[in-house]
Chains A and B, each alone.
Chain A
Amino acid sequence: MIQHLTAIWKFRHFLLALVRLDLRLRYRRSILGVGWSLLNPIAMTTVFAVVFVQLFGGNNPKAYIPFLLIGMAVWGFLREGTVQGCRALIGNEAYIRQSPLPYGLYTLRTILGQAIHSGIAFGIGLAVTVACQKDFRAIGILWAVFPAIVLAFLAAWSVATIFAFINVYFQDTQHLLEVGAQIVFYLTPIMYPREVLDRGGIGWMADLNPANLFLELIRTPIVTGEPPTADLYLTVLGITTVSIGLAVGTAAWLQKRVVFHL
């Protein structure tokens, strides 16, 4: 694994050049460039805010909009990281057939691009939060959130790597992931507060849902200004470690065979 990481480091120029290319292509495709990537979540959130603030927001848009924006940024990263990341090996087949680079590099290409994209959305969410709360609570708590962002990055990279390998063998992996993500989106308190599940007596589902735990770790401190508990951090650290372990295991198991299936 150390070997793997040093090899990725050795080819960092290659990786970063491709990430830059991906972002350039992504933003060039729309007339508004980067603006579009900002406009889209803002438009979505405006619609959500208008409609759902009545339902879930307790008619308090100043609390609900930050909650929604940060939540969508975090969820967007986890979702797109996995769904797009699973294409990493298939999509980079040309490089794989040409040079023996570590496979983690290709998923990292997707995840890094996605992280920058979601980072922009996150930054906007943060700015809106400050504007809504009329103080700098949200900025002051960032020290407690930063490690959680690193963990989210590592977890998304690992999960994407696992599915990228599976995708080489099963061509409907991406489709199934999209379906799965849709289901998880509704099961996770992203647009609605967790109390909605508690009221229905299914709050335990939120406790078992890794996506929700990442939201609690990143979003909740920003909106409330309270640092997360050590217990929560340990749980998420455990989940991330397990997913890294699974990814390393999958790569070790399949890396010598996967090239014959591409």
Chain B
Amino acid sequence: MAKIELKDVSLTFNIRQQKRVTLKEYLVQGLFRRSSVAVHALVDMNLNIRDGDRVGVIGHNGAGKSTLLKMLAGIYPPTAGTRTVEGSICSLFDISLGFEPEANGWDNITYRAYLQGESPASLKKKIDGIAEFTELGEFLNVPVRHYSAGMLMRLAFSIATAVEPQIMLVDEVLAVGDLAFQKKAQARMKDLMSSARMLVLVAHDFSTIRAMCNRVIWMQHGGVMMDGPTDEVVDAYVQSVTGPTQTPHVGAIATAA
């Protein structure tokens, strides 16, 4: 049984004007330090996701969607409230992240699979299937620093979905691949979902959301604005953006976004 439960979760972090300072600067200026800016990325979020839920997360840029995913994945610890996540998690965030650029495709499949908790024995059974799904063929022998964004995405997606996670967290990476791979990826996601697992998907492309999700959360200013069935929430969101008089033509907005 997989489970995601957030109780009054808030996430606040401070950002300084400069990301990293030298020790010298710090010692000289430390006495007159400028105050740092506090960012309230998530504010009192309550969320309950059950088995079989396929949740789409929509909202403006900076609404806290990606932060929410990273918090669910355990990368950002909440500053207040409790986060309960049970089940094996697989996250697809920034696709170029977490590859060793100097190593080839095969090796990177190995590293990622180990990172997701595979053992050499269990990977051996899967690695050919993963390689096949990427359709990268000979390119798998090339260091991944020569890969295009689309190829990296193929690699990342193939590995991530091969380990059959209970919870999948996906941050609008599907749009990177070519059309054929997008179709294939959607088909595999549906496959994965059919065995009653959870998906949390952040996307600006509403056709993907409508195709994949049975529940949508609309986030605004780090909180939940609306939570409900896909069509209802997406329509409400689109209306709030385009104005109430227009009848939204969703396809057009999706491509514009």
Please report A residues at the B interface, Cβ cutoff 8 Å: 10-11, 13-14, 17-18, 21, 25, 94-101, 168-173, 176, 256-257, 259-261
Q: Other CB < 8 Å A-B pairs besides A98-B115, A99-B91, A259-B77, 18 of them?
A: A11-B117, A13-B118, A17-B107, A17-B111, A18-B100, A21-B100, A21-B103, A96-B75, A97-B75, A97-B93, A97-B98, A98-B94, A99-B73, A99-B98, A171-B22, A256-B77, A260-B76, A261-B20
| Structural contact, A261 and B19, CB atoms closer than 8 A | yes
User: Which among B13, B20, B111 is the interface contact of A18 at CB below 8 angstroms?
Assistant: B111
Residues of A within 8 Å of B77, CB to CB, are 256, 259
Nearest B residue to A171 by beta-carbon distance? B20
* Contact A170-B115, Cβ < 8 Å, known A94-B99, A260-B76: no
Taking A21-B100, A94-B99 as contacts, is the C-beta distance between A14 and B21 under 8 angstroms?
no
A214 to chain B, nearest CB (A): 26
Q: A-B pairs with the 9 shortest C-beta distances?
A: A100-B74, A14-B114, A172-B22, A171-B20, A94-B97, A260-B13, A13-B114, A98-B98, A170-B23
Question: Which of A98, A170, A171 gathers most chain B CB within 10 Å?
Answer: A98
Name 6 interchain pairs, CB-CB below 8 A, sorted by A. A18-B111, A21-B103, A97-B93, A98-B91, A99-B98, A170-B21
Chain A residues positioned under 8 Å from B114 (CB to CB): 11, 13-14, 17
Contacts known (A98-B98, A260-B76); A11 close to B115, Cβ less than 8 A: yes
Residues of A within 8 A of B239 (CB): none
Cα distance A123–B110 when bound, in Å?
A: 31
Query: Among A13, A100, A169, A173, which residue has its beta carbon within 8 angstroms of that of B73?
Result: A100
Residues 231-245 of B at the A interface (beta carbon under 8 Å): none
Closest A-chain residue to B39, C-beta based?
A260
- What residue in chain A is nearest B92 (Cβ atoms)? A98
**Interface residue ranges of B107-122 to A (CB < 8 Å):** 107, 110-111, 114-120
Bound Cα distance from A11 to B22, whole angstroms: 33
Question: In whole Å, how far is A127's beta carbon from the nearest beta carbon of chain B?
Answer: 32
Chain A: which residue is nearest B23 at the CB level?
A: A170
Contact partner of B24 (CB less than 8 A), chosen from A96, A97, A100, A172, is A172
Residues in B whose Cβ lies below 8 Å from that of A10: 117
CB pair B19–A100 under 8 Å, yes or no, is: no
Q: A97 contacts which chain B residues (CB < 8 A)?
A: 70, 75, 93-94, 97-98
**Shortest distance between the CB of B155 and any CB in chain A (Å):** 14
**Residues of B contacting A25 in the complex (Cβ-Cβ under 8 angstroms):** 102
Residues of chain B within 8 A of A98, CB atoms compared:
75, 91, 93-94, 97-98, 115
